[in-house]
A and B are shown apart, each in its own frame.
Chain A
Amino acid sequence: MLLITCPWCGPRDETEYHYGGQAHVPYPERPADLTDEQWAAYVFYRDNPKGPFAERWMHGTGCRRWFNVLRDTATHEVLASYRLDEPRPGGNR
């Protein structure tokens, strides 16, 4: 069971949240110019690291806002949580 800190509501149990997968995946700037391979990469390919991973969570039973969490996928340690308009702590990836 994860203890996740919502940037607005504070630390809450994992069951209050909805998981949203990898963070920092921008919509293509010029979608009409993308090749099939580039579309496949945008739609279907995500990072899957064993270690720190920046991911999206939504506080469903609280403020209902999306935010980002930096979490170690091997140890389950929550390293940071931050708003969507903030950069990934410790460097952008």
Chain B
Amino acid sequence: MTAEPLPEHPDFLWRTPEPRSSYDVVIVGAGGHGLATAYYLARNHGITRVAVLEKGWLAGGNMARNTTIIRSNYLWDESAAIYEHALKLWERLPEELDYDFLFSQRGVLNLAHTLQDVREGVRRVGANRLNGVDAEWLEPDEVAKVCPILNVSPRTRYPVLGATFQPRAGIAKHDHVAWALARRADMLGVDLIQGCEVTGFLKDGDRVVGVETNLGRIHAGRVGLAAAGHSSVLAERAGLRLPVQSHPLQALVSELHEPVHPTVVMSNHVHVYVSQAHKGELVMGAGVDAYNGYGQRGSFHVIERQMAAAVELFPVFARAHVLRTWGGIVDVTPDASPIIGATPVENLYVNCGWGTGGFKATPAAGWTFAHTLATGEPHPLNAPFALERFTTGALIDEHGAAAVAH
């Protein structure tokens, strides 16, 4: 007896077209950033002859593997401007995309455990306010009011000495964000092509004129790379070297619990960040593994340390079980800030180097990268994030200052 074949999964949200022979813009990588770029190319610039090429499946890379935190409490003016632009876009996107992706502005606490943490936090609150970013400094008793399950006792190894608080920060359902952007981009005429790996670049002299793929050659007016951890592997095929290093970044979730954790808590010093997803899992992350790697898994001791920190901060989680751990590959730059803009290869543009913080920037990365791909010029928000800064020395050094250590 042979079983009936299962019915095909319906393509509710987007078409699955064959690639055309040429497009105005080809974007490599159908993660959040690639999809947002395609969406804003169509919406803001009326450019709809666009293909987004994805070697795997749509939003199956880091977009499926992050801890979904959205915030804009960055230290430097350039970072505050682009992440705050992203946060403002997040606030209107569910309505604009007509898709409820569970954006929840439950706030973020960045804990201070040392005198230097306190000084850094107070400084960052001041910097945030000067940049129009909502920020408050909270003493330990005020921290406990925002997050009652947090252990603010002075008798822990690293007591909570205070925290910065950004009330407008929050979380969103990452998969739904991708699907919402993909659906709208598709409706506006963008071709989303999965299972399409870019294996090389078509060049006319020093100029990129298209890409070679496993589905054949595709010509393009401009090519934009949005491939996160694999950006340098891809760029190398175009003869371009990027100042990024790829590292594994791990995250994990617990089994489901009643809603007990009302906000997002991050700690640089003991290095863990914890929020509770809508369904009830505790979502946790830590820093990257030190070594370069593309294996989409990291080392157990990193998980062990973040769990130890989490249990110290949240004694209530002591008997929670880990349900699942996973790893993504992040591309880290020397100054922990992204690269968005032109490259020495004509018609080839990059959006990369977001390190551990790409998800929160998704709409602004798309907005500015679309502007750059449409006009050939940087948007004022991404101009400081050009590749040239590593030659001029105009770095945007967010290591440590970014409220999370890479």
Binding site for B on A (CB under 8 A): 1-2, 14-15, 18-19, 21, 36-37, 39-40, 43-46, 48-50, 53, 55, 71, 73-76
Give 4 nearest A-B pairs by CB, closest first: A19-B290, A48-B232, A40-B391, A44-B243
Q: Is the CB of B292 within 8 A of A53?
A: yes
* Contact of B157 with A by CB under 8 A: no
**A40: chain B residues within 8 A (beta carbon):** 243, 390-391
**A36: chain B residues within 8 A (beta carbon):** 391-392
CB distance from A5 to the nearest CB of B (A): 15
* Contact of B334 with A by CB under 8 A: yes
**A37: chain B residues within 8 A (beta carbon):** 391
CB distance from B397 to the nearest CB of A (A): 12
Q: Mark B287-304, 1 if CB is under 8 A from A, else 0.
A: 000111111000111000
Q: What total count of A-B pairs have CB within 8 Å? A: 61
Partner of B294, one of A2, A43, A74: A74
* Complexed CA–CA distance, A76 and B293 (Å): 7
**A75: chain B residues within 8 A (beta carbon):** 295
Residue of B nearest to A46 (CB): B245
**A71: chain B residues within 8 A (beta carbon):** 291
CB distance from A18 to the nearest CB of B (A): 8
Q: Is the CB of B295 within 8 A of A1?
A: no
* Complexed CA–CA distance, A41 and B348 (Å): 20
Q: Is the CB of A45 within 8 A of B299?
A: no
* Contact of B241 with A by CB under 8 A: yes
* Complexed CA–CA distance, A73 and B290 (Å): 12
Can you name 14 A-B pairs with beta carbons within 8 Å? A1-B300, A15-B299, A18-B290, A21-B245, A36-B391, A43-B334, A44-B334, A45-B243, A45-B390, A48-B244, A48-B245, A50-B233, A71-B291, A75-B295
* Contact of B246 with A by CB under 8 A: yes
Q: Is the CB of B293 within 8 A of A73?
A: yes
**B293: chain A residues within 8 A (beta carbon):** 73-74, 76
Q: Is the CB of A2 within 8 A of B292?
A: no
**A39: chain B residues within 8 A (beta carbon):** 391
**A15: chain B residues within 8 A (beta carbon):** 299, 301
Partner of A48, one of B292, B299, B334: B292
CB distance from A87 to the nearest CB of B (A): 21
**B246: chain A residues within 8 A (beta carbon):** 48, 50, 73
CB distance from A52 to the nearest CB of B (A): 11
Known: A45-B390, A48-B331. 18 other contacts (CB 8 A): A1-B301, A14-B301, A18-B290, A21-B245, A39-B391, A40-B243, A43-B390, A46-B245, A48-B232, A48-B242, A48-B245, A50-B294, A55-B291, A73-B291, A73-B294, A73-B295, A74-B293, A76-B295
With contacts A36-B392, A45-B243, A48-B245 taken as known, whether A55 is within 8 angstroms of B299 at the C-beta atoms is no
Residue of A nearest to B291 (CB): A19
**A14: chain B residues within 8 A (beta carbon):** 299, 301
CB distance from B404 to the nearest CB of A (A): 19
